Amino acid sequence: MTIADRWLLPDGMDEVLPPQALRMESLRRGLMDLYYRWGYDLVMPPPVEFLDSLLTGAGTDLDLQTFKLTDQLTGRLMGASADVTPQVARMDAHSLRRQGPVRLCYCAHVLRARADEHQGGRSPVQAGLELFGHAGIEADIEIVKLALASLSFAGANDVHLAIGHIGIYRALAEEAHLEDDVESLIFEALERKAVSEVDALIEQHISDASLAAMFKQLPRLHGSVEVLERARNIFANGSQAIVDALDQLVALQHVLSTAYDEVTLYFDLAELRGYQYHTGLVFAAYVPGYGQALVKGGRYDDTGRAFGRPRPATGCSMDLKQLATLCQRAPSHDGIWAPMEEDEALSQRIHALRDAGERVVQQLPGQSTDALAHFCDRQLIYRDGAWHIESLAN
């Protein structure tokens, strides 16, 4: 191993340097303040939990993404958090146990065993919000609104919002009484958008002509708003669960089309992302130039059941590192360069400036770098018996 190799970071692990670190921190503060103004309380989950608690109610995907380690005190297996959402669900169900709707937000480092397929990171900074205790579409709409507000605050333009509903596929599968292995085959074909393969499987395993016709249309129902009207006609004889799911999609579409006409809406009724975890409406927000959704969310009712308190729940999450790249600005030169002298008046002036929110950098003895290297655009100059701020551009 060479000296250079010794300091290499593991694949998928990255460090954040200036000025990006400051940009991320400013974004974090702004997002948490935004959520606070909407009534969301901040929580700080631990970075490591016992594995049986951390993975309770979670799907196999999260298990595969979780780093495991042994607790030296108890000998029990622990896991590093790969997704904050289940931890927050535990907090709501077990730690807080509040009555009525509960709004929680967070921002925490997570660690993942596998790199993201598109963006490569294994150490995201996950920010998000969760709304527990309300089963109505109003809660989902609030989460979507805050997802779009988060992107707007981060500087995103030309947002494309993909929307689906897990409940439609689930209702069809339950009504068809499919064997587990058959449902797995249909599910995988739907995920791959293999329409002809879906048709063949349905013809082979579903004898009810009406149900088969509805199932076949599912992978074909994707596109703009007109998809919802087509779905109304196709599922006219569907179960109440399907009718309710379409009602929710229409309600969301109406709100978004009215208040967010700059956002491009895309509906995909065969979107099955997070099927093991999500139970209803799901969404993902995309921005041109990024290979993966910047914000993902949806409904995941009854996650708290494993903790003895099943509750309706909906939420969304995002990677702060990715959001911070939306608005790449050159480092701002907004500091004040000051000498390092034993002067009480100078010390008082610097103290007052820092209290007022100014960034003051003092030149250390023998320092070779100048004010511009430290992003200062002004300097303190002693003139006429007082310390004055002057522009370095003069």
In terms of phi and psi (left: phi > 0; alpha: psi -120 to 50; beta: otherwise), the region of 10 is beta
Closest CA to 350 of 379, 320, 330: 379
> Residue 4 has what pLDDT?
61
Place of tokens 């088969």: 212
> Tens digits of per-residue pLDDT, 372-387?
999 999 999 999 999 9
Average pLDDT value for residue range 58-76: 87
> Residue 117 has what pLDDT?
60
Pairing mode, if any, of strands 376-383 and 335-339? parallel
Average pLDDT value for residue range 109-122: 79
The sheet carrying 77-80 orders its strands as 48-50, 77-80, 68-70
Measured CA to CA, the distance from residue 215 to residue 235 in angstroms comes to 10
Mean of pLDDT over the chain: 92
The most confident of the ranges 52-61, 110-119, 158-167 is 158-167
58 confidence band (pLDDT: 50, 70, 90): low
CB 279 within 8 A of CB 245: no
> Residue 43 has what pLDDT?
98
291 confidence band (pLDDT: 50, 70, 90): confident
> Residue 377 has what pLDDT?
94
Burial class (CB in 10 A: 0-12, 13-18, 19+), 368: exposed
What angle in degrees, to the nearest 10, is found between the helix axes of 166-176 and 180-191?
150
Closest CA to 269 of 164, 190, 170, 160: 164
Q: Is the pLDDT of residue 362 over 70?
A: yes
Q: How many CA atoms lie within 13 A of 344 on its CB side?
A: 0
In terms of phi and psi (left: phi > 0; alpha: psi -120 to 50; beta: otherwise), the region of 36 is alpha
> Residue 115 has what pLDDT?
78
Q: Is the pLDDT of residue 119 over 70?
A: no
CA dist 326 to 23, 144, 150, 329, 331, Å? 11, 19, 12, 10, 15
Measured CA to CA, the distance from residue 45 to residue 134 in angstroms comes to 23
User: What is the value of pTM for the model shown?
Assistant: 0.91
Lowest-confidence segment of 71-80, 145-154, 311-320, 322-331 by average pLDDT: 322-331
CB 58 within 8 A of CB 277: yes
313 confidence band (pLDDT: 50, 70, 90): very high
> Residue 2 has what pLDDT?
66
| 78/277: higher pLDDT | 78
